A = this chain, B = another copy of it.
Amino acid sequence: MSGFVLWLTGLSGAGKSTVAGLVANELEGRGVTVERLDGDIVREHLSKGLGFSKEDRDLNIERIGWVASRVARAGGGVVVSAISPYATARRKARSLAEEHVPFIEVYVATSIEECARRDPKGLYAKAFAGEIPEFTGVSDPYEAPENAEIILTTEGRTPEEAAAIVLDYLVENDLLDPAEVSA
């Protein structure tokens, strides 16, 4: 199979990394060379020193998008999980990738109420208390995708069920061989 870029966008706590991890494991199990580009981790490699202003966020996403396009062009299945709050930056990442490979935008559409309820890192509590400036969805904008290939509702659904929707999309679009039926 040839490469692709799967781009998970959504609020902090929406479940992007969880779903990305499950999808990546399943892809690897089916023989795909997977590259996970997680927003926070990639910052370490590409964007040390950048902050969370619009300019710095866009620069970080631009770099992730460029690397994603390079790896996918070489044949990798790239799984990005990054808040990537700005539509223009996501569109640029899409354009770069689509010069060579399909780009599948996955909007992990967990509501802010649910994200704040989960609050796995305790960040929403701080953000609502005004302790974190530029916190996406609270004190910083999130521009929801208008033409995502997949809109993933995570509420009332297990992470495994959400991952299965993404994998089904890849199979239906000939980007992944169907899994063999196990006995």
Name A residues whose Cβ lies closer than 8 Å to a Cβ of B: 3, 33, 35, 45-46, 48, 59, 62-63, 66-67, 70-76
- Number of copies of this kind of chain in the complex: 2
A35 contacts which chain B residues (CB < 8 A)? Answer: 70, 73-74
Whether A63 pairs with B45 at a CB distance below 8 angstroms is: yes
Given contacts A33-B73, A75-B74, A76-B75, contact A66 B48 (CB under 8 A): no
A59 contacts which chain B residues (CB < 8 A)? Answer: 48
In the complex the two chains form, what is the Cα distance from A3 to B35 in whole Å?
Answer: 14
Overall SS of chain A's interface: helix
A75 contacts which chain B residues (CB < 8 A)? Answer: 33, 74-76
A33 contacts which chain B residues (CB < 8 A)? Answer: 73-75
In the complex the two chains form, what is the Cα distance from A74 to B48 in whole Å?
Answer: 24
The listed residue with most B CB atoms (<10 A of its CB), out of A3, A48, A72, A73, is: A73
Whether A70 pairs with B71 at a CB distance below 8 angstroms is: yes
Residue of B nearest to A66 (CB): B45
Return A100 CB to nearest CB of chain B, in Å.
Answer: 9
In the complex the two chains form, what is the Cα distance from A75 to B31 in whole Å?
Answer: 13
Whether B66 pairs with A46 at a CB distance below 8 angstroms is: yes
A71 contacts which chain B residues (CB < 8 A)? Answer: 70-71, 74, 76
In the complex the two chains form, what is the Cα distance from A72 to B45 in whole Å?
Answer: 17
Given A33-B73, A46-B63, A75-B75, 7 further pairs, Cβ under 8 A = A45-B62, A45-B66, A67-B70, A70-B71, A71-B71, A72-B74, A75-B76
Return A42 CB to nearest CB of chain B, in Å.
Answer: 9
